[in-house]
Amino acid sequence: MPDIPPELEEQLKRVRKNYAARLPGKVELIEEAWSKLLGIGPDREGLKALRIQAHGLAGSGATYGFKEISEAAHKLEIFLQSLIETNSLPTLPEKERINNLVGELKHSLS
Amino acid sequence: MAIPTLNKILLVEDEPDIQAVAKLALEIVGKFTVEICNSGNEAIVKAPSFAPQMILLDVMMPGMDGPSTLQALRNLPQTASIPVVFMTAKVQPYEVAHYKKLGAVDVIAKPFDPMTLSSTINKIWNQCHA
């Protein structure tokens, strides 16, 4: 394992700290987006937008070492992807499943 | 024939938090000059003037995704032959084979290690010129 240049180590610490501080807000945005979507009736475009948000959090969470959050976001992303691929609107149990996955995501913050 | 030194890299990535780590790693460890694009569309506009030697391209982006961006870059005379490396979490062998079939020279798995990202890229660069 090569030594980390001190400058990189310092900068990585700085951006990680900054990322950690913004994580609750990122999860809140996903919660809000799902809540809004649920209010107006989730359509394909809305689900795609939500999947992109979950994908972004899964990727950035893993990059910054927040494994649990990344995995929870990835589970949400995969489920949304499966709904998008079937090209059908979510049924009541599927909406419930998304609720649970968003809940798991929130829980992974603690 | 000597392999040219890799200096200029274009990073196409929609997630600002991933951009930040990649840029730090590429500039501090690799000493590369890095230009960032937030989308495939931005890459199509910026790449011809920036003239990168290599393009790192996120696969899943809103709007124009990685494969579509690669296709568009291949259709521009200024960027047609620039090596493109996909960056993605989807790195099953069949997925990597698919990306290479689309024209990517290689695939870097996400999450990447900031410490080894530059050496991985240099290795790919050298393989492109072997």
pLDDT digits over B9-68, tens only? 999 999 999 999 999 999 999 999 999 999 999 999 999 999 999 999 999 999 999 999
A31-49 confidence digits (pLDDT tens): 999 999 999 988 889 999 9
User: Are B96 and B107 contacting, i.e. CB atoms less than 8 angstroms apart?
Assistant: yes
Q: Is A89 exposed, middle or buried (0-12, 13-18, 19+ CB in 10 A)?
A: middle
Do residue A64 and residue B89 have CB atoms under 8 angstroms apart? Answer: no
Which residues from A are below 8 Å from B14, CB to CB? 56
> Is it the case that residue A3 has pLDDT exceeding 90?
no
Whether B7 shows a pLDDT value over 80: the answer reads yes
The pTM assigned to this predicted structure is 0.91
Q: What SS3 class is residue B58?
A: strand
Residue B46: the pLDDT is: 97
For residue B2, the model assigns a pLDDT of: 87
- For B20, which residue in chain A has the nearest alpha carbon? A15
User: What pLDDT score does A1 carry?
Assistant: 52
The answer to whether the Cβ–Cβ distance between B17 and A60 falls below 8 Å is: yes
The span from the CA of B130 to the CA of B125, in Å, is 9
Do the Cβ atoms of A44 and A84 come closer than 8 Å? Answer: yes
